[in-house]
Amino acid sequence: MSTTSPPGDRIAKVLARAGVASRREAERMVEAGRVTVNGRKIDSPALNVTPGDKITVDGKPLAAAEPPRLWLYHKPAGLVTSARDEKGRATVFDNLPEGMPRVMSVGRLDLNSEGLLLLTNDGEIKRRMELPSTGWLRRYRVRVRGIPKDEMLEPLRKGLTVDGERFQPMEVTLDRQQGANAWLTIALREGKNREIRRAAEAVGLIVNRLIRISYGPFQLGTLKEGAVEELKSRVVRDQLGLDKDFKPTTAPKPKVTRARPQSRGKPTRR
């Protein structure tokens, strides 16, 4: 029995590399019958394709994959990190600068959270960076209401269970007390839904501001709120350990641009 793998790459990986969607989303598109290969509609992502295959998505030919690119974005509070919002709220993607290509977020920041959000045009990079096995440290500046004592913070450092969900140990530092509030620096290697807010509430602290300042080796730095900065292709390749299949061509020099004014009013700062 032959154990040789069929030539090419899985269809979802090819769609993700072309920036159509993340790999998981691409699999759902295939299962929904939105993809054809050589004129035949497919309904299973268990298919390898080669560069010679003709692929369409929603009736449109699949564009050639662009070089992988990565941007730093300073997300303001009050924006939803999704392509569409069923409640009609403004999204991150509504407020990106003119001329940005189609991009996806690496992970999420919830509505009221601010700070560093990574954006990419490459669904395969998105998948790689979100994998739990990557274990990249995410660091946050967190303002809480109350006067935290070291014994209150210890359960966060040891790991705790909230509503049946286990949170891994966090790195927690008390930076300063500021009146009725205190500033903490919290770092974690997961990214579960509202993890910091829920864990803090479990020990009696209410988060009233949360700013992500780094994601792995990528730093928010002095990037202004609403601004976007593209990283140099060499930095992307080196930091992500991309192999020759991901090697980008020469990209434009990185630049910082301002986002368009928000059409639904500037989020209220707390």
Residue with structure tokens 């440290």?
137
- Smallest CA-to-CA distance from 129 within 231, 221, 8, 252 is with 231
Residue 210 neighbours by CB under 8 Å, 6+ apart: 112, 113, 114, 115, 140, 141, 142, 143, 196, 197
Q: Could you say which of 110, 122, 150, 243 is catalytic?
A: 110
Residue with structure tokens 């699999």?
27
Give the separation between CA 221 and CA 37, rounded to whole angstroms.
45
53 is known as an active-site residue: no
- Smallest CA-to-CA distance from 69 within 269, 229, 262, 270 is with 229
Catalytic residues: 110
